[in-house]
C-alpha cells in the first residue's frame, strides 16, 4: 500500500507552478485578481458542490467539525507562540499556515490511491473541516497581521465560503434537488481551483528576490507542517482507537492529513491580504518538493505506531 508512485501528482502540481512562474515573468500577469477570484467565487462554488454531492450525515459532519476545531486550535496556539519571535505579518502568515495543509491539491490524489471509496469520503469530510478553518479562523489570524479585530471580523463576514457552507447544509438537510445542469457546471470549478491555486505559487515566485528567502521563517513553517502535524495526527489516532475504536480506514485518512505539504491557499490568502506572499510561496514550494520523499517515509513509521500494521 505504501509503494505509491507520487511522481505523477508531484510533476502535475509543479507544472502548474512553472506555468504560473512563466505567466508572471514573461506575460507580467498580476496574481492578485486571481487570488480574489479564487476566494470569492471559485472556492465557495467548489465547496458547495463537494458538500451537496457528499450527502453529509451527522457522523460526516462531526468529522468536519473535529478537523475544523483541531486546525483552529493549532493555528491559535502557533499564533501565540510566534508573536514574540516574528514580525506581525510573518507571525500571522505562520499561524495561518500551521493550521492547514495541502489536503486537496496534493493529498486527495494520494488518498484516492491509498484508501477505498468509503475512506476517500471520510477524507473529503475531514478536508472540508480544514478548508472551513482556512476561510474563517485562519483568515482572521492572517488578517490580524495588518488589520484590527473589527476590520478582520468584517473581512470574514464578507467571505462567501461561509454562506456556501450554510447553503449546502440547508439544501442537503431539506433534501432540495439541485438541477443536473447546475451540478455539471459546478464540476468545472474544482479543476480551475486546483490549477489556479497552484499557478499563484509560481506567479508569486516569479517576483521573488533573494532578500525574501527567510531561513528562520521557512524553518518554522516546515516544523509546523512536518513535525507538529504528524505528531498530532498520530496522537489523535491512538486516542480515538483506544476510546471509540475508529476504523483502520479513518485512522489512515487522519494520518495522511498529517503528512501533506503546506497548503497552496497560504499564498492565495497572503496575496489577498498582502501579507508577505513571497515568503509563503517559497515555504510552500519547498515542502511540496520534499513531500514525495517524506510522505512514504512518514507513513512507514506512523502506520505501525498507530496499530495499522
CB atoms within 10 A of CB 219: 11
Half-sphere exposure of 27 (CA within 13 A, CB side): 10
308 domain residue, yes or no: no
pLDDT higher than threshold 80 for residue 1: no
What is the band of 309 on the pLDDT scale with cuts at 50, 70, 90?
Answer: low
Q: What is the mean pLDDT of residues 106-127?
A: 83
Q: How many domains does the chain have?
A: 1
Q: What is the pLDDT of residues 162-207, one digit of tens each?
A: 888 888 888 887 878 888 888 888 888 878 888 888 888 888 877 7
What is the pLDDT, as a whole number, of residue 210? 65
CB 49 within 8 A of CB 232: no
CB 129 within 8 A of CB 63: yes
2 domain residue, yes or no: no
Q: What is the mean pLDDT of residues 42-68?
A: 83
The residue among 200, 199, 163 whose CA lies nearest residue 45 is 163
How many Å apart are CA 299 and CA 74, to the nearest integer? 22
Q: What is the pLDDT of residues 208-252, one digit of tens each?
A: 776 667 889 889 999 999 999 999 999 999 999 888 888 889 999
307 domain residue, yes or no: no
The residue among 307, 249, 214, 35 whose CA lies nearest residue 126 is 249
Half-sphere exposure of 6 (CA within 13 A, CB side): 24
Q: Is the dihedral of CA 176, 181, 184, 188 positive or negative?
A: negative
1 domain residue, yes or no: no
295 domain residue, yes or no: yes
Q: What is the mean pLDDT of residues 121-132?
A: 88
What is the b/e burial string over 93-104, where b = at least 16 CB atoms within 10 angstroms of the residue's CB? bbbbbbbbbbbb
Q: What is the mean pLDDT of residues 126-132?
A: 89
207 domain residue, yes or no: yes
CB 273 within 8 A of CB 142: yes
161 domain residue, yes or no: yes
Whole-model pTM: value is 0.84
Q: Give the helix/strand (H/E) hosting 206.
A: none
What is the band of 150 on the pLDDT scale with cuts at 50, 70, 90?
Answer: confident
CB atoms within 10 A of CB 300: 10
List Cβ<8 Å contacts ≥24 apart for 209-214: 212/278, 212/279, 212/282, 213/282, 214/90, 214/279, 214/282
**CATH for 61:** 1.20.1530.20
What is the pLDDT, as a whole number, of residue 173? 78
pLDDT higher than threshold 70 for residue 7: no
What is the pLDDT, as a whole number, of residue 96? 92
Give the percent of the chain with pLDDT over 70. Answer: 94
Q: What is the dihedral of CA 191, 28, 210, 103, to 10 degrees?
A: -10
What is the pLDDT, as a whole number, of residue 224? 93
CB 17 within 8 A of CB 285: yes
**Structural domain range at position 204:** 7-302
Q: What is the mean pLDDT of residues 109-127?
A: 84
What's the chain's average pLDDT?
Answer: 85
Half-sphere exposure of 107 (CA within 13 A, CB side): 28
CB 266 within 8 A of CB 198: no
How many Å apart are CA 87 and CA 104, to the nearest integer? 29
Q: Is the dihedral of CA 150, 204, 196, 222 positive or negative?
A: negative
How many Å apart are CA 77 and CA 147, to the nearest integer? 20
Half-sphere exposure of 213 (CA within 13 A, CB side): 4
The three grid cell numbers given for residue 155, joined into one nine-digit string: 473581512
Amino acid at each position: 500500500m505504501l509503494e505509491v508512485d507520487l511522481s505523477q501528482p508531484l510533476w502535475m502540481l509543479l507544472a502548474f507552478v512553472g506555468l504560473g512562474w512563466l505567466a508572471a515573468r514573461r506575460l507580467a500577469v498580476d496574481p492578485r485578481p486571481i487570488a480574489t477570484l479564487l476566494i470569492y467565487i471559485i472556492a465557495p462554488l467548489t465547496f458547495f458542490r463537494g458538500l451537496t454531492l457528499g450527502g453529509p450525515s451527522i457522523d460526516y459532519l462531526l468529522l468536519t467539525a473535529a478537523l475544523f476545531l483541531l486546525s483552529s486550535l493549532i493555528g491559535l496556539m502557533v499564533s501565540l507562540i510566534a508573536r514574540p519571535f516574528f514580525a506581525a505579518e510573518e507571525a500571522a502568515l505562520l499561524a495561518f499556515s500551521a493550521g492547514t495543509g495541502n489536503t486537496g491539491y496534493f493529498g486527495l490524489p494520494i488518498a484516492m490511491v491509498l484508501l477505498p471509496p468509503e475512506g476517500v469520503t471520510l477524507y473529503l469530510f475531514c478536508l472540508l473541516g480544514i478548508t472551513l478553518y482556512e476561510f474563517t479562523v485562519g483568515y482572521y489570524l492572517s488578517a490580524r497581521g495588518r488589520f484590527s479585530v473589527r476590520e478582520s471580523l468584517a473581512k470574514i463576514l464578507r467571505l462567501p465560503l461561509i454562506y456556501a457552507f450554510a447553503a449546502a447544509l440547508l439544501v442537503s438537510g431539506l433534501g432540495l434537488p439541485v438541477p443536473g445542469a447546475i451540478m455539471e457546471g459546478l464540476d468545472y470549478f474544482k479543476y480551475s481551483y486546483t490549477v489556479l491555486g497552484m499557478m499563484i505559487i509560481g506567479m508569486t515566485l516569479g517576483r521573488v528576490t533573494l532578500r525574501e528567502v527567510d531561513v528562520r521563517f521557512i524553518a518554522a513553517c516546515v516544523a509546523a507542517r512536518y513535525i507538529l502535524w504528524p505528531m498530532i495526527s498520530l496522537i489523535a489516532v491512538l486516542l480515538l482507537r483506544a476510546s471509540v475504536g475508529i476504523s483502520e480506514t479513518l485512522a489512515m485518512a487522519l494520518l495522511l492529513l498529517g503528512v501533506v505539504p503546506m497548503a497552496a491557499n497560504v499564498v492565495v490568502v497572503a496575496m489577498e491580504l498582502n501579507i508577505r506572499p513571497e515568503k509563503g510561496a517559497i515555504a510552500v514550494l519547498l515542502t511540496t518538493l520534499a513531500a514525495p520523499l517524506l510522505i512514504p517515509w512518514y507513513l512507514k513509521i506512523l502506520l505501525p505506531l498507530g496499530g495499522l500494521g
